[in-house]
A and B are shown apart, each in its own frame.
Chain A
Amino acid sequence: MRTIDTDVLVIGGGATGVGVLRDLALRGIRAALVEKGDLTHGTTGRYHGLLHSGGRYVVKDKQSASECAVENEILRRIMPHCLEDTGGFFVVTPADDEAYVPLFLKGCQETGVSVHEIAVREALRREPLLNPRISRAFEVRDGSADSFLATHSNAEDAVRHGAQVLTYHVVTGLERTGDRVTGAVCEDMRSGETVHIHTSYIVNAAGAWAGKIAELAGVKVTVVPGKGTMVAMNHRVLNTVVNRCKPPADGDIIVPIHTVAVIGTTDVHVPDPDVFGIEAWEVERMLSEGEQLVPGISKARVLRAWAGVRPLYKDQDVADDRDIPRTYKLLDHEARDGVKGMISMVGGKWTTYRMMAQEATDAVAAKLGIQAECRTHLEPLPIPAGAERKAGLYWLGKPLAAIEADSSYGHLICECELVTRERVVDAITSGKAANIDDIRRDTRLGMGPCQGGFCTYRAAALWHELKPATPPANDPPHGHAGNSVALLRHFLQERWKGLTVIAWGDQLRQARLDEIIYLDTLGLDLLPAPAPAEQNGAEMVTAHPAIATEYHAA
């Protein structure tokens, strides 16, 4: 058993939690963060990557729109390396009602969302595959964001300023002394060790899981997990974020992010953020709605489908989950429930994470009687070592240009996403990655067209070579080799689950090749290691029920 003392404990390693951690650290407040998986393992790592201009909310959710517009500019300043300035369009397709346009423009004006109309001809010149039958086009300051890199940059800065980050630590209980929360009991999922964290204050930033954390303190917080399914296309069909100019609905946006274009998204209430599947109709809806924006897109190659759960906070009755405001809410449990020592930050968007963190930290600082001002909007984030992206905004060709600059193309582990051996080795030896999926979040390994077909065995082999000296604590059957095989299987499983609902056409052909590589050539199912389902909360893989998501069909 380990004991940690800190002033503030942040629960949740998504954008908000890590944002709060950085803010606390910059204000000189001693802080630690626990996350049950890897950083960004939850919703932050599963969203479509849109840096909102705010345009999407200008009619029905004005507060969110204003917040996005403000934060958009701040993020461009503090984390250019995580953002791509793709620009964004709102277009009126033949399926949309032009009557929405005046509402949209009025909303933009009221909320401070920058917008101007451009000629349809100009929009088509910039995006030749866009539906030529659009009647109007409006340009906004949308962009795309690398939420993995942003979160890691925040975490790195927080650690630099003295904060602690504990990943793979699941909160199993909160300790209460009378009406005050005084600490948390965690389990280190890799070693099975129990960790007690004594703290003066807890920030519940668990997103869709915030209700579950609050429950541990005996407080009721209703978070509605709103599942959003997204579909990634094989390459950048568009280079500009394109939205339908209409009230938000399923499949009305395409976001170019890194090498892919993501069509989003559905909004389906799920009872539990840990248990959900992706259904065929959702993929079909994305593609058929996508046709309105890019005719022919449904015939192009789909790379993968995945889902994330929105942490929607429901404090009053609304008819539809899509009507729940996207704005965030700070819950002071002392004022609200009479429970001291804890606040919950719920709702919100990735784009407003910093603002949420600022508000949460302001509240905590006030409780602790600390005067320090927020500086997160002023100080640029550091670029994590190993990320080849240099300063300045990201652009699509940047990773290829970097590989070309030092001719490191002979050292690619993941060919599709140009991940070099050096970066994978760094991820393994730094100790931050607990499995290959964690390396993926750092490097994009396995996120390209072949979905791990050619990189998984290479990454597993590197892991096997580099980690022989540190056998895992609860010695798995077949020792070190068994461990490496388990890692390999886990990552393949993680990649393949995103293919099951889109298994047709070119991607089915790809999946078949991958299957031949792993099952026929390598005989993976015959290798001596327990199958993931039989593993007893394996320390390196995410079969643990607390962090396993999407394993079960709804």
Chain B
Amino acid sequence: MTHDHIELSLEQSLDHCIKCNICTAACPVSAVTDLFPGPKYVGPQGQRFRMPGQPSPDESVDYCSGCRVCNEVCPTGVRVMELNTRAKAAIVEQNGLPLRAWLLGYQYWFGKLACGPLAPLANFGASNPLLRTVVERTVKIGRKAPLPKFSTYSFRSWFKQRTKSQASKTAAVPDGSQSTAPGSRKQVVYFHGCSTNYYEPHVGQAAVEVLERNGFEVIVAKQGCCGLPLLSNGAFKQARSHHEYNVEQLLPYAQRGIPIIGTSTSCTLTIKEEASELLGMHETAVRMVAENTYDIFEFLRLLHDRGELNTDFKPVQRSMPYHAPCQLRAHNLGRPALDILELVPGLQLSESTAACCGLAGTYGYKAEKYQIAMDVGAGLFDFVRASGSDTAVCDSEICRWQIAHGSGLEVKHPIEILREAYG
């Protein structure tokens, strides 16, 4: 087995642990439950007792939500979350993927089936307490967990329709081919992800409009699920094929230097590093796509740094609470949404200091973890409620659903606010 430096640094990170317990002190999950003994215990400490080919000795690692707070606070650079997620994958490899993890990992199939004309029916089912109780009893998906509403139309269908109606423009057909007509206009590829496509097409619409306001031609490339729900459920083999597919679709754009931009912080993080690190995929193509992928506000901030951002904003006289999701913090970019939104006259955003909303991808959907997720998020819910605003702002869709569920506020993606500012 050959090791490149990324893989090596993951392995060596076990050696860097000096047992200081800072990760455990900062862990939002172990703070609210005794069921999770903490990131150090299941991470570098447990790792010393794991051996390939032997039974997985621990089940408690399943209570790690994968929020990555441990990675952020570790003073010696231990990749605790990666160790934990790999340990979960070893359990899946040993025991197989449970039905629930399968359902959560492949949830985009529900989007595919229910988004569109069937959405009202599906939403009725998804919000029906009786049905939810049955689901909780059978597959242990929490009956109170905040399921998103299916949209009556998909983002892709909206975009296709719009492209057709704008036939005068030279927009590329979103078929993933390399045939985008060369022109003087700057191009970007938009990676919408499953949530925008099936649940929140308005986020994608806002993104497209903002990018166009800045003179970009937006290409919606062929794409699949980024694979994060599978990764966090330990289904590495399945996640690998998703990542391979996306890399294949996005590579031609990356090769031509066309930026790949996403509004879902978790999708972009997965493409940037999470998939490649967890799956040990460090091929040139994977890296090239990763290096060309940006969170939308990261991209807008780059534009601003170069003096190319359209700052023709109308005043927005509002003050709102903002939560930077774990997945965004893992990008190590600071708070690009705050940096850009503070350019909008009149807009006041107050940032939360909460570690995590608690939902952490599919974690909070699991019945036995629902209350843990709510307890983890409690501080954040209090913070947004105390703001007095009726709207909160957060970059990640899952976190938005959880904050809305926990606080009763409407929660928007910052790109929606920015679009508003463009008038």
Contacts and interface: CB of A to CB of B under 8 A. Distances in A.
Contacts of A509: 18, 76
A445 B12 CA distance: 24
Interface in B31-56: 34-35, 37, 40-41, 45-56
Contacts of B54: 395-397
Instruction: Output the residue of A128, A399, A401 with the most chain B CB within 10 A.
Output: A401
Contacts of B16: 301, 506
Given A409-B37, A415-B41, A509-B76, A396 B51 contact: yes
Interface string A168-194: 000000000000000000000000000
A400 B21 CA distance: 18
Contact of B47 (A235, A398, A404, A510): A235
A450 B51 contact: no
Given A239-B52, A397-B49, A506 B41 contact: no
A390 to B, nearest CB: 14
Given A234-B14, A235-B14, A510-B18, A448 B58 contact: no
B48 A236 contact: yes
Contact of B19 (A239, A300, A410, A453): A453
B300 to A, nearest CB: 40
Interface in A377-417: 395-401, 404, 407, 409-410, 412, 415-416
B321 to A, nearest CB: 35
Contacts of B1: 128
B50 A234 contact: no
A450 B37 contact: no
Contacts of B15: 234-235, 300-301, 506
Contact of A239 (B35, B51, B59): B51
A422 to B, nearest CB: 16
A407 B59 CA distance: 10
Interface string B203-245: 0000000000000000000000000000000000000000000
B57 A401 contact: yes
Interface in A93-138: 128
A239 B16 CA distance: 21
A483 B58 CA distance: 39
Given A397-B50, A397-B56, A450 B18 contact: yes
B19 A454 contact: yes
B20 interface: yes
B17 interface: yes
A509 B16 CA distance: 9
A235 B48 contact: yes
A397 B19 contact: no
B60 interface: yes
A366 interface: no
Contact of A448 (B48, B55, B56): B48
Interface in A406-446: 407, 409-410, 412, 415-416, 418
Nearest to A453: B19
Contacts of B56: 397
B345 to A, nearest CB: 49
A449 interface: yes
A144 interface: no
A404 B19 contact: no
A372 interface: no
B19 A396 contact: no
B20 A513 contact: yes
A29 to B, nearest CB: 42
Most B CB within 10 A of own CB, among A235, A407, A412:
A235
B60 A409 contact: yes
Interface string A449-470: 1100110000000000000000
B179 to A, nearest CB: 44
A154 interface: no
Nearest to B46: A400
Nearest to A303: B15
B52 A415 contact: no
B49 A418 contact: yes
Contact of A396 (B18, B49, B59): B49
Contact of A449 (B12, B19, B41, B46): B19
Interface string B133-176: 00000000000000000000000000000000000000000000
Nearest to B24: A415
B82 to A, nearest CB: 16
Nearest to B35: A407
A396 B48 CA distance: 8
Given A404-B59, A415-B45, A397 B18 contact: no
A450 B19 contact: yes
Nearest to A302: B15
Nearest to A126: B53
Interface string A228-248: 000000111001000000000
Contacts of B49: 259, 396-397, 399-400, 418
Contacts of A301: 15-16
A207 to B, nearest CB: 31
A513 B51 contact: no
Contacts of B18: 449-450, 453, 506, 509-510, 513
Given A401-B57, A404-B57, A450-B19, A416 B37 contact: no
Contacts of A401: 55, 57-58
A416 B58 contact: no
Contacts of A236: 48, 51
A239 B50 CA distance: 11
A398 B55 CA distance: 9
Contacts of A510: 18-19
A416 B46 CA distance: 9
Contacts of A395: 51, 54
Interface string B256-272: 00000000000000000
Contacts of B58: 397, 400-401, 404
A397 B60 contact: no
Contact of B34 (A128, A410, A453): A410
A395 B17 CA distance: 23
Contacts of A454: 19, 21
B14 to A, nearest CB: 6
Interface string A44-66: 00000000000000000000000
Given A396-B50, A410-B34, A415-B41, A449 B57 contact: no
B52 A449 contact: no
Contacts of A418: 45, 49
B47 to A, nearest CB: 7
B12 A300 contact: yes
Nearest to B45: A415
B10 to A, nearest CB: 14
Nearest to A396: B51
Contacts of B52: 239
Contacts of A448: 48
Contacts of A409: 37, 41, 60
* Best-buried of A412, A415, A450, A509 by chain B (most CB within 10 Å): A415
Contacts of B60: 404, 407, 409
B76 to A, nearest CB: 7
A454 B45 CA distance: 13
26 contacts: A234-B14, A234-B48, A235-B48, A236-B48, A239-B53, A259-B49, A301-B16, A396-B49, A396-B50, A397-B55, A397-B57, A400-B46, A400-B57, A404-B57, A404-B58, A404-B59, A407-B60, A409-B60, A412-B41, A416-B45, A449-B17, A450-B18, A453-B18, A454-B21, A506-B16, A509-B18
Closest 10 CB pairs of A and B: A397-B57, A301-B15, A400-B57, A409-B37, A400-B49, A401-B57, A450-B19, A396-B51, A128-B1, A259-B48
Interface of B: 1, 12, 14-21, 34-35, 37, 40-41, 45-60, 76
Given A128-B1, A396-B57, A410-B37, 17 more contacts: A239-B52, A301-B15, A301-B16, A396-B49, A397-B51, A397-B55, A399-B49, A400-B57, A401-B58, A404-B60, A407-B35, A409-B37, A412-B41, A449-B18, A450-B18, A509-B18, A513-B18
